[in-house]
């Protein structure tokens, strides 16, 4: 059992996604980054890393910062103006993060995602691999929506949901939503004096959703309804989530010190949830047959290398789910395949060192990475 399950201790996190709302980071009137606040967050993140925790940031604020540089004032922006504002604001935002986190020796890596990067199978596996690589190398990914290209019909629009998708994508065990509300109440605390605070949620029931419908956050694009949607995604991926008021300095330390917040605790771990997703919910688009040696390696928890593949059936894209069969034809696993079917066929029986010569590009070493495999 994973140590994080069921606990509301932030220290138990191994891989932490921290979502930062615009209102915390940016002075709305002047479009400036709150440097002292960001410095205090950087201290908290450095403390997390000193404890051995991996950190990923999902930050809003590009539009809020950028509108100042384009002299939009505080008026309501059209979509294309927001996109223009994000293009200039993101540079300033990323610069502020790099400068301030850099003082603690952290290297920040900017990653801008669209909703398609989390839904399209090929783009999903690309984004996941890059984020994994950054985290493994000790960098801190700084993620925002790619507002410049994402139009209304195809955008997340709020970073609560983006944060949850990112947490699921990188198999994070903890998602922290720092916002301007300290958690979930049974009713709108501003309107109903009988509203009670809810410290822990273990399942998003209709009752919980009804509570979220009334307890809205004052500013920001998110609000409690999007936070519930985020909680559903995170919990489905075996990731616990916490909503906390981030206004004060050192917002993560505040959670550790017992500050008020609402925890959403899933029943599964990220690993089991991911294996269930790969093994149960995705329709296999093809079949890969492996030899006895590869089958043994898979059962021992290893990746599937091209050398162990004896046949490829069907038409699939990189990132699609495929069925894996043993030498006797029996289904042994399902996995997300790292090559499209035409390339996979060219790699049958090849050594990893021969991939580039066979395909004309370097590609991945594995046909299916062990993290993308679910044994039957
Ligand atoms: N991606 C938007 C920005 O950087 C913010 C979305 C949100 O407010 O959650 O400005």
Q: Is the CB of 110 under 6 A from ligand 1?
A: no
Name the nearest CA neighbour of 167 among 192, 137, 143.
Answer: 143
Question: What is the pLDDT at residue 168?
Answer: 94
Which are the contacts of 125, defined by CB distance < 8 A and separation ≥ 6? 318, 319, 336, 338, 372
Render 126-182 in DSSP notation, one character per residue. Answer: HHHHHHHHHHHTT-EEEEEE-TTT--GGG---SHHHHHHHHHHHTT-SEEEEEESS-
Which protein residue's CA is at the shortest distance from atom 5 of ligand 1?
60
Residue of 19, 21, 22 best suited for mutating to test ligand 1, as the one with most atoms within 8 Å of CB: 22
Question: What is the pLDDT at residue 214?
Answer: 45
Which are the contacts of 71, defined by CB distance < 8 A and separation ≥ 6? none
Most confident of 166-180, 186-200, 275-289: 166-180
Q: Is the CB of 222 under 6 A from ligand 1?
A: yes
pLDDT tens-digit map of 81-120: 999 999 999 999 999 999 999 999 999 999 999 888 888 8
- The CA 148 to ligand 1 mean position distance, Å, reads 11
pLDDT at 273 > cutoff 50: yes
Which of 48-57, 210-219, 259-268 shows the lowest mean pLDDT across its residues?
210-219
pLDDT tens-digit map of 142-157: 999 998 887 666 667 6
Interatomic CA distance for residues 336 and 361, integer angstroms: 20
H or E element, residue 288: strand 286-290
- The CA 166 to ligand 1 mean position distance, Å, reads 15
Going from the C-alpha of 192 to that of each of 125, 185, 220, 283, 289, the distances in angstroms are 46, 10, 22, 47, 62
- The CA 278 to ligand 1 mean position distance, Å, reads 30
Q: Is the CB of 83 under 6 A from ligand 1?
A: no
Strands 240-245 and 140-145, sheet pairing = unpaired
Q: Is the CB of 24 under 6 A from ligand 1?
A: no
Which protein residue's CA is at the shortest distance from atom 2 of ligand 1?
60
Q: Considering the entire predicted model, what is its pTM?
A: 0.87
- The CA 302 to ligand 1 mean position distance, Å, reads 39
What number is the average pLDDT over the span 120-137?
A: 92
Interatomic CA distance for residues 259 and 243, integer angstroms: 11
Q: Is the CB of 372 under 6 A from ligand 1?
A: no
Domain architecture of the chain: domains with CATH: 10-271 (3.40.1160.10), 282-375 (2.30.130.10)
Is residue 185 within 8 Å of residue 216, measured between CB atoms? no
Tokens of 87: 């293009």
- The CA 60 to ligand 1 mean position distance, Å, reads 4
Question: What is the pLDDT at residue 66?
Answer: 94
What confidence tier does 216 reach under pLDDT thresholds 50, 70, 90? very low
H or E element, residue 314: strand 309-314
């Amino acid at each position: 059992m994973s140590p994080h399950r069921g606990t509301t201790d932030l220290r138990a996190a191994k891989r932490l996604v921290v979502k930062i709302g615009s209102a915390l980071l940016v002075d709305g009137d002047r479009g400036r980054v709150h440097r002292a606040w960001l410095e205090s967050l950087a201290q908290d993140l450095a403390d997390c890393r000193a404890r051995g925790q991996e950190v990923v940031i999902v930050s809003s604020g590009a539009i809020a910062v950028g509108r100042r540089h384009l002299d939009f004032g505080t008026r309501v922006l059209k979509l294309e103006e927001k996109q223009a504002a994000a293009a200039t604001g993101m540079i300033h935002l990323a610069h502020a993060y790099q400068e301030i986190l850099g003082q603690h020796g952290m290297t920040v890596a900017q990653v801008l995602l669209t909703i398609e990067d989390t839904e399209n199978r090929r783009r999903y596996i690309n984004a996941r691999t890059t984020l994994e690589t950054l985290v493994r190398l000790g960098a801190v990914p700084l993620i925002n929506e790619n507002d410049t290209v994402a139009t209304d019909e195809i955008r997340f629009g709020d970073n609560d949901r983006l944060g949850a998708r990112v947490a699921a994508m990188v198999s994070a065990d903890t998602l922290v939503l720092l916002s301007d509300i300290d958690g979930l109440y049974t009713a709108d605390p501003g309107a109903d004096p009988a509203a009670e605070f809810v410290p822990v949620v273990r399942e998003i029931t209709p009752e919980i959703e009804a509570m979220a419908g009334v307890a809205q956050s004052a500013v920001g694009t998110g609000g409690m309804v999007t936070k519930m949607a985020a909680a559903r995604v995170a919990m489905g991926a075996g990731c616990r989530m916490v909503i906390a008021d981030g206004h004060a300095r050192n917002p993560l330390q505040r959670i550790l010190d017992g500050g008020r917040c609402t925890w959403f605790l899933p029943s599964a771990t990220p690993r089991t949830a991911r294996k269930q997703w790969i093994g149960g919910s995705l329709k296999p688009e093809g079949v890969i047959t492996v030899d006895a040696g590869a089958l043994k390696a898979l059962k021992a928890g290893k990746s599937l290398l091209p050398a162990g593949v004896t046949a490829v059936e069907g038409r699939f894209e990189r990132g699609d789910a495929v069925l894996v069969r043993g030498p006797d034809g029996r289904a042994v696993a399902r996995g997300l395949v790292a090559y499209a079917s035409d390339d996979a066929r060219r790699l049958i029986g090849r050594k990893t060192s021969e991939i580039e010569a066979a395909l004309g590009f370097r590609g991945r070493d594995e046909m299916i990475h062990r993290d993308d495999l679910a044994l039957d």
